[in-house]
A and B are shown apart, each in its own frame.
Chain A
Amino acid sequence: MSKQKAREVFSKKILERAKKDSSIFVVCSDSMGSAMIEDFAKELPEQFVEMGIAEQNAVTVASGLASLGKKVFVIGPASFYSTRAAEQIKVDVAYSNNNVKIMGISGGISYGNLGATHHSVQDIAFMRAVTNLDVLIPADGNQMGALVDLLLENENPTYVRIGRGEVDDIYDKSEVFKIGGSKVLRKGNDIAIFTCGQLVSRALALSDLLEVRGYSASVVDIYSVKPIDQGTIIDIAKKCGAALTIEEHSVFGGLGGAIAEILVQEYPIPMYIAGIPDEEIPNGTDLEVFDVIGLNQNELLEKALILIEKRL
């Protein structure tokens, strides 16, 4: 299995597309290095805008550019864009219906021991409550690459959250996605596991552990958190009778919240939301921290087995 950094895939792909389309702009906020966008800046300086450490203004200026018909990608840390520039995303991008894609890199707790200032674990809760804003969370490099094409095909204001490190490929390069879609990666009957982003691989590993114990899990990658694939979610919930969500986001208002909103109104079943707990989290790498905040295989397995007991 090969590994890729989603942000690197994005930067290569956007450069390739922008060479053929001069209306594609990339805006960054002293984030050229972390966004791995140096080649773009060097090769297409007329389509690149460096705004300095000023995320709010980066988003507003991007909206001005977009109002001229440009396809603008703002790229920088998810933590700063999703909180400091939240109003600009709400007003200048979403409410004003400008074709701006916010590429929040190093999302979740990717920044590890840089601490809570650099973590974005509230971003999905806010973004999915913003009217006229799509929210996408790719799980691997190949999905990121495919999403770039989708992002260029539609003019919807969008927030995309991507991670920092290398992640195992889940998908082939040829896999097809759509805004509002999901991917059923495993089809089972005993528990539905809804997940997204970097933790899709942990959800798949969990389903392997369940299989050893004689249970079959459905694993669904909800890469499009908004619009969300309600039909598939309800179908899988009906088939399995219990749902576990696994995400790199606060347990409040993220993917778990989105799934709960659907199921509690359409098909209530026992459910557990696994994510970043509402407490100060320890310093460490993201993978180390996952292991001590309940996102390790043993604890996830324990939760899954309890749900299977209670399933409808």
Chain B
Amino acid sequence: MIRKLDHELEKSLIIKSANVRLETVKRIHKVGAGHTGGDMSAADILIALYTYMNVNPENINSKTRDYFILSKGHSAEIYYEVLAEFGFFEKKRLDSLGKLGSEFGGHPTKNIPGVEANTGSLGHGLGIGVGIALGLKRDKMKNQVFVLTGDGELAEGSNWEAAMAANKFELDNLTLIIDRNYLQISGKSENVMPLEPLDKKMESFGFKVLKINGHDYREIFEALNSSFDGKPKAIIAETIKGYGIRDGEGIASWHHMVPNKEQVIQMEIDMKRIVEEINNV
């Protein structure tokens, strides 16, 4: 749990992100399946969260831990990689990904250390988060609850039922982060089912809304650190789907496109450059 981001930490997280994204893409390439685009857009949010939250391999059963729910369960590959990176299990275990009987399915379950909810069907995570946050409040606990949704996912009405409840119960221990990459499987989210003005929608549902660059650790940490008495918080994190994959950035069809060998090699070069540049700063 680190709540303050200094320059050194920021540098290390950028390097971590480059490595984790590359490892994930390599794994997807090897397995031949995965939700590549949304994995990449969520990477920095997940890395920031697991740095920030009071949850680690030692306290995963503690009553005082912070809770994280990956509502966009299809971003499982990056989630697994991040959990392994933060020590919830050995990276080696991820070798079973895509194999018969693997504990690591295409969507996460509580069988995996660190996972708090079985997700995969969209529009459930926020309601689960509301239930946990409400229970913690009733128990007078101080833990925080974080939920990461996609943006296309917000067309599910259940999110708005949950948002109403978050407001009713004044869940200021609840943070919704929206991976706002403006894309979903069939195209631009604003064409498939328009969400804008998303900030005003969330505000009118009783949330305090922060709009940030979801690949900028300073902005993510600032947003995570701000709190508002009696109000749930929504962070609209603007991201790039396929972030870091040259051919895949900002392209809807990369939702579950599997990168080919050349694309992986290109990404290796690009991620290496990021790491070198950071180390030279």
* Contact (Cβ within 8 A) A70 B124: no
Given contact pairs A56-B158, A57-B161, A97-B110, A64 touches B121 in the complex (Cβ within 8 A): no
* Contact (Cβ within 8 A) B165 A61: yes
Q: Contacting B136 at CB < 8 Å: which of A49, A63, A68, A96?
A: A68
In the complex, which residues 80-139 of chain A have their Cβ closer than 8 Å to any Cβ of chain B?
87-88, 91-92, 95-97
Q: Which chain A residues lie closer than 8 Å to B134 at the CB level? A: 49, 61, 64-65
Q: Contacting B131 at CB < 8 Å: which of A47, A52, A64, A97?
A: A64
Chain A residue at minimal CB-CB distance from B110: A96
Given contact pairs A67-B116, A87-B121, A91-B124, A60 touches B135 in the complex (Cβ within 8 A): no
Question: Is A62 at the interface (CB under 8 A from chain B)?
Answer: yes
Given contact pairs A54-B161, A61-B165, A67 touches B132 in the complex (Cβ within 8 A): yes
Question: Is B138 at the interface (CB under 8 A from chain A)?
Answer: yes
* Contact (Cβ within 8 A) A51 B165: yes
* Contact (Cβ within 8 A) B118 A96: yes
Question: Is B117 at the interface (CB under 8 A from chain A)?
Answer: yes
CA distance A54 to B117 in the complex (A): 21
* Contact (Cβ within 8 A) B164 A70: no
Question: Is A175 at the interface (CB under 8 A from chain B)?
Answer: no
Q: Which chain B residues lie closer than 8 Å to A88 at the CB level? A: 124, 127, 158
Q: Most chain-A Cβ atoms within 10 A of its Cβ — which of B120, B121, B128, B139?
A: B128
Q: Which chain B residues lie closer than 8 Å to A64 at the CB level? A: 127-135
Report the interface size for chain B: residues with CB under 8 A from the other chain: 26
Q: Which chain A residues lie closer than 8 Å to B136 at the CB level? A: 68
Question: Is B223 at the interface (CB under 8 A from chain A)?
Answer: no
Q: Most chain-A Cβ atoms within 10 A of its Cβ — which of B116, B121, B136?
A: B121
Question: Is A46 at the interface (CB under 8 A from chain B)?
Answer: yes
The 0/1 profile, CB within 8 Å of B marked 1, for residues 67-83 of chain A is 11010000000000000
The 0/1 profile, CB within 8 Å of B marked 1, for residues 1-34 of chain A is 0000000000000000000000001000000000
Main DSSP-derived SS at the A contact region: helix
Main DSSP-derived SS at the B contact region: helix
* Contact (Cβ within 8 A) B124 A60: yes
* Contact (Cβ within 8 A) B118 A68: no
Report the interface size for chain A: residues with CB under 8 A from the other chain: 26
Question: Is B162 at the interface (CB under 8 A from chain A)?
Answer: yes
* Contact (Cβ within 8 A) A65 B165: no
* Contact (Cβ within 8 A) A67 B131: yes
* Contact (Cβ within 8 A) A95 B118: yes
Q: Which chain A residues lie closer than 8 Å to B128 at the CB level? A: 60-61, 63-64, 67, 92
* Contact (Cβ within 8 A) B117 A96: yes
* Contact (Cβ within 8 A) B165 A68: no
Given contact pairs A46-B138, A64-B127, A95-B118, A57 touches B132 in the complex (Cβ within 8 A): no
* Contact (Cβ within 8 A) B161 A65: no
The 0/1 profile, CB within 8 Å of A marked 1, for residues 136-175 of chain B is 1011000000000000000001100110110010000000
* Contact (Cβ within 8 A) A65 B121: no
Q: Most chain-B Cβ atoms within 10 A of its Cβ — which of A49, A52, A87?
A: A49
CA distance A115 to B222 in the complex (A): 54
Q: Contacting A61 at CB < 8 Å: which of B121, B130, B139?
A: B130
Q: Which chain A residues lie closer than 8 Å to B127 at the CB level? A: 56-57, 60-61, 63-64, 88, 92
A73 to chain B, nearest CB (A): 14
CA distance A68 to B129 in the complex (A): 11
Given contact pairs A56-B161, A96-B110, A91 touches B121 in the complex (Cβ within 8 A): yes
Q: Which chain A residues lie closer than 8 Å to B157 at the CB level? A: 56
CA distance A145 to B138 in the complex (A): 27
Q: Which chain B residues lie closer than 8 Å to A65 at the CB level? A: 131-132, 134-135
A118 to chain B, nearest CB (A): 21
Q: Which chain B residues lie closer than 8 Å to A60 at the CB level? A: 124, 127-128, 130-131, 158, 162
* Contact (Cβ within 8 A) A91 B118: yes
* Contact (Cβ within 8 A) A57 B118: no
Chain A residue at minimal CB-CB distance from B120: A91
CA distance A102 to B168 in the complex (A): 23
Given contact pairs A46-B138, A67-B117, A96-B117, A57 touches B162 in the complex (Cβ within 8 A): yes
Q: Which chain A residues lie closer than 8 Å to B162 at the CB level? A: 57, 60-61
Chain B residue at minimal CB-CB distance from A27: B131
Chain B residue at minimal CB-CB distance from A50: B168
Q: Which chain A residues lie closer than 8 Å to B116 at the CB level? A: 67
In the complex, which residues 142-175 of chain A have their Cβ closer than 8 Å to any Cβ of chain B?
none
CA distance A108 to B220 in the complex (A): 51
Q: Contacting B164 at CB < 8 Å: which of A49, A52, A92, A95?
A: A52
7 further A-B pairs in the complex, CB-CB below 8 A; given A49-B134, A56-B157? A60-B124, A61-B130, A61-B134, A64-B131, A67-B128, A92-B118, A92-B127
Which 6 pairs from chain A and chain B are nearest by CB? A64-B131, A60-B127, A57-B161, A61-B131, A68-B135, A54-B161
- Interfacial residues, chain B to chain A (CB-CB below 8 A): 110, 116-118, 120-121, 124, 127-136, 138-139, 157-158, 161-162, 164-165, 168
A-B contact pairs, 6 of them (CB 8 A): A46-B138, A64-B128, A64-B132, A67-B117, A67-B128, A92-B118
